[in-house]
Amino acid sequence: MAPAGGAGSVPLSRRAGGPDLARGLALLGIALANTVGWLHGSTWTVLLKQQDATAWDRAADVLIALTVDNRGFPLFAMLFGYGIGILHRRSQERGERTGHFLLRMLRRHVALLAIGLAHAILLFQGDILVAYALIGMLCALLMTRRRVVLPLAGIIALPALGVWGWVDGIIGLSDGDGYASAAAPDYLTGLILRAELAGSEVATALVSEIGLLAPMAIGVIAARVRLFEEVEANRDVLAPLARWGIGIGLAGAVPLTAVLVLDPGHQLLDSETALGILGLIHQYSGLLGALGLAAAAALLAEHVRARRAATGQILAESAATGQVRAGGAATGQAPAGGAATGQTPAGGAATGQVRLLGGVVRGIEALGAVSLSAYVGQSLVFAALFPPYTLDLGTRLGTAGAAVIVVVTYLAMIGPAVALRRGEHRGPLEVVLRSLAGSSMPRETGPAPASSAAPSPARRPGGRS
């Protein structure tokens, strides 16, 4: 363990795979969902989608509505809370005083607030790092009180979470057609609009964004029992969580998605109450879906690691058998079962599949480990393509075209993320965050892997992932 006076963290190679895998997968969803913050000029329907979408655009809308909208931001908030819970657990293991822990958390969240404000003002109106910083600090404060305080606060915050779902259900009854800054004719105008909104966000976040406390509290509770770290010990909990959580998440998204497909112009269903209730169902089922996805990611990451270990052992034994064969050939003796110990074509194919799956999972995990840098990096790419004063793709493309750009950007970031992880380097903004927060660089800790508390961003209410 790190010394009591330090803020030491687990080296990147020892981090638990599940949380990073979940972050990496959800980063793609975050970017897909955030396209509504860049597209403009077409009247909104439910979930801020375009009413007059083409067939390809609507197909992309449906996929995003079923799997990403109101699923991504609870997942990231949950993982954010999980990270805070791990930091608190390590603090207790080192015997650190509560006051000192809270001072470290204050520095960390103030640093995140600064990064969030820069992102919100310079790049993207839909930033949520500001809210993560403020609600995250509240979460850290509450978790140091009696153990029942944070869970109770999370329950109290659930209605506020539902408000965002209600807004997503009724948004098509308004005349909205995009974020104001997305349609700004020049960068300076957009900058002024974003700065005004960012100031308002800081002033009101503890009220308007308090719904984030519910998934953060779930994450802290999960960290207390090491739910996503000790996978084998928690398999009996994780497996049903994955099945039922993902299933409920998909089923709960169907009603509002049906409105998106069958009545985007609200010619048949224009009741605010009915649409709001469908939005609530979409939102609350998304919270369960997020928990299910986190559980599934932990199981998949552990499965891949176990298969890699088993494959490595088989290859080592095969190499040892080959040496025995060579010795047997020299003495004129054939090893018993020699054919069985050889590498068959089927065995080679299975090994190749394991390596392919392992490579994909490790690449996504690596991207999840630099989620803060990746999130802001996405905004840099989109800011160069979508505004009217650049290529104006915000009016020329729909969801499908924007999704292609998102996927290409996502895939392009995996290579650098893997290179950073291999060199035990953090992402550039992760380094900035740790520097501003006064955190130490990674040092050796105990053998058990753990997830970090690196922030994982999502979108704002009325355009949430």
Q: For residue 448, is it within any domain? A: no
Least confident piece of the model among 17-26, 121-130, 449-458: 449-458
Q: How many C-beta atoms lie closer than 10 Å to residue 428's C-beta?
A: 14
Q: For residue 454, is it within any domain? A: no
What per-residue confidence (pLDDT) applies to 294?
Answer: 96
Average pLDDT, the chain: 87
Q: Using alpha carbons, select from 95, 76, 178, 39 the residue that is nearest to residue 453.
A: 76
Q: How far apart are the first and last CA of the chain?
A: 37
What per-residue confidence (pLDDT) applies to 213?
Answer: 97
Band (4; pLDDT cuts 50, 70, 90): very low
Q: What is the mean pLDDT of residues 83-88?
A: 94
What per-residue confidence (pLDDT) applies to 419?
Answer: 95
Band (30; pLDDT cuts 50, 70, 90): confident
pLDDT score of 98 more than 60: yes
Instruction: Say if residues 455 and 113 touch (Cβ distance below 8 Å).
Output: no
Q: For residue 369, is it within any domain? A: yes
Phi, psi dihedral angles at 50 (to 5 degrees): -80, 135
Q: For residue 430, is it within any domain? A: yes
DSSP 8-class letter at 460 = -
How many folded domains does the chain comprise? Answer: 1
pLDDT score of 442 more than 60: no
Q: What is the mean pLDDT of residues 374-394?
A: 96
**Residue range 428-438, pLDDT digits in tens:** 999 999 888 87
Q: Using alpha carbons, select from 144, 55, 27 the residue that is nearest to residue 427.
A: 27
What per-residue confidence (pLDDT) applies to 231?
Answer: 95
Q: What is the mean pLDDT of residues 168-184?
A: 93
**Residue range 389-416, pLDDT digits in tens:** 999 999 999 999 999 999 999 999 999 9
CA angle in degrees (0–180, nearest 5) for 180-182-186: 100
What per-residue confidence (pLDDT) applies to 16?
Answer: 80
* Maximum distance among all Cα pairs of the chain, rounded to whole angstroms: 87
What per-residue confidence (pLDDT) applies to 339?
Answer: 47
What per-residue confidence (pLDDT) applies to 341?
Answer: 47
Q: For residue 183, is it within any domain? A: yes
Distance CA 191, CA 130 (A): 17
Band (186; pLDDT cuts 50, 70, 90): very high
Question: In the numeric block, which tokens belong to residue 264?
Answer: 């985007």
**Residue range 212-241, pLDDT digits in tens:** 999 999 999 999 999 999 999 999 999 999
**Residue range 107-123, pLDDT digits in tens:** 999 999 999 999 999 99
Distance CA 392, CA 384 (A): 9
Q: For residue 391, is it within any domain? A: yes
What per-residue confidence (pLDDT) applies to 313?
Answer: 58
Question: In the numeric block, which tokens belong to residue 457?
Answer: 């961003």
Instruction: Say if residues 139 and 220 touch (Cβ distance below 8 Å).
Output: yes
Residue-range definition of the domain harbouring residue 390? 12-317+350-437
The kind and range of the H/E element at 387 are none
Phi, psi dihedral angles at 3 (to 5 degrees): -60, 160
Q: What is the mean pLDDT of residues 168-187?
A: 93
Q: How many C-beta atoms lie closer than 10 Å to residue 92's C-beta?
A: 12
Percent of the chain with pLDDT over 90: 74
**Residue range 43-75, pLDDT digits in tens:** 999 999 999 999 999 999 999 999 999 998 899
Percent of the chain with pLDDT over 70: 83
Q: For residue 308, is it within any domain? A: yes
What per-residue confidence (pLDDT) applies to 389?
Answer: 96
What per-residue confidence (pLDDT) applies to 244?
Answer: 97
Q: For residue 44, is it within any domain? A: yes
What per-residue confidence (pLDDT) applies to 326?
Answer: 56
Q: What is the mean pLDDT of residues 235-258?
A: 97
